[in-house]
Copies of this chain bind each other. A is one copy, B any other.
Amino acid sequence: MDKDFVVGIDIGGQSSKLGIVDARGEVLAQSVVKANPSADAAVIVKELAEAVLRLVAQSGKHGQIRGIGVGAPNGNYYTGSIAFAPNLPWAANGEVKFAKMLSEACGGIPVSLTNDANAAAVGEMTYGVAKGMKNFIMITLGTGVGSGIVVNGEVLYGSDGFAGELGHTIAVRHNGRACGCGRNGCLEAYCSAIGVARTAREWLDISGEPSLLREVDNITSKDVYEAAKEGDKVALRVFDYTGRILGQKLADFIAFSAPEAIVLFGGLARAKEFIYEPTLNAMNDNVLNLWKGKVKLLFSQLKESDAAILGASALAWEL
């Protein structure tokens, strides 16, 4: 029987999503496994394998699965391991040989694994706005800031599989904000969902300017987005600032790999109406003359619920 289908799994801190995908990038069936915060790696793998096999059986694709692609925080393509992933209790304090374990638990179906941002880049190259591109940079603007760098049509993994940590390059060197990685001034501390909320809270603290956000307890980036949609000036300036910091760094990234495009993805990319212009302007204002106006700034258009599964599944076609 031809093996014309793959499984994509997106491992997250709250839940993992999985789906069966055909060669055209249609998600034929999908399901969700809620995170079990007290389970160890063996239990997590067993639960996921059961969910995979159930989904395969339900959709009548037994024997037709070519492979399983997994995107996971701190996933390493070379080793197939997930290691020291702060948001995954079962992989927070050591190395879990996830690809090997999952393949065994699924009766030997081959498993390929990478980090979530690289998976998103592969998905975008296979099914999304980067289709046909050989050189682009994917920036995922979510709880954190991740990146997947594609060079000559392949994800850049570097010497150890961990290349592309652009969220942890320095955006603000002088009195930069503390970042979750233990350093200061990282791009992630400014241009993540958490960074946006923090910018709003800091600005409200130091100014007396009226804002819809003053009525909100424990401001999130979603609150800032809602306020911006109402025309709130503080919220609009927060996005402007966020886009400016992002665009400045994008200019540096361009000097590295001369990509055809930068693709933004993730929760914050949904605020395109507010961050597109400041980001693009800062990128072009700060980039070397030879690239001014030449590098595209694109936003992922993959269907929200499918994007993570598609990205992970695309890995499995190479198996």
Contact = CB atoms under 8 A, between A and B. Distances in A.
Interface of A: 84, 134-135, 149, 151-152, 154, 156-166, 168-170, 172-174, 181-183, 248, 251-253, 255-260, 286, 288-291, 294
B258 A182 contact: no
Given A163-B258, A256-B169, A289 B156 contact: no
B257 A168 contact: no
A289 B162 CA distance: 12
Contact of A151 (B156, B170, B173, B290): B156
Given A135-B159, A151-B156, A173-B173, A256 B166 contact: yes
A273 B162 CA distance: 31
A246 B182 CA distance: 21
Contact of A257 (B163, B252, B258): B163
Is chain A's interface secondary structure helix, strand, loop, or mixed overall? Answer: loop
A195 to B, nearest CB: 17
B256 A170 contact: no
Contacts of A134: 159
A261 to B, nearest CB: 9
19 contacts: A134-B159, A151-B156, A158-B257, A159-B258, A159-B259, A159-B260, A162-B290, A162-B291, A163-B256, A165-B288, A169-B252, A169-B255, A170-B248, A170-B251, A170-B286, A173-B174, A181-B288, A183-B286, A252-B252
A291 B165 CA distance: 11
Given A158-B257, A168-B255, A174-B174, 8 more contacts: A158-B259, A159-B259, A163-B256, A163-B257, A163-B258, A164-B256, A170-B248, A173-B174
A139 to B, nearest CB: 13
Contacts of A256: 149, 156, 163-166, 169, 253, 256-257
B173 A257 contact: no
Contacts of A151: 151, 156, 158
A259 B84 CA distance: 21
A217 to B, nearest CB: 33
Specify which of A159, A166, A182, A290 lies most central, judged by the most chain B CB atoms within 10 Å of its CB. Answer: A159
Contacts of A165: 255-256, 288
Contacts of A288: 165, 168, 181, 183
Contacts of A286: 170, 183
B289 A258 contact: no
Contacts of A257: 149, 156, 158, 163, 256
Contacts of A161: 258
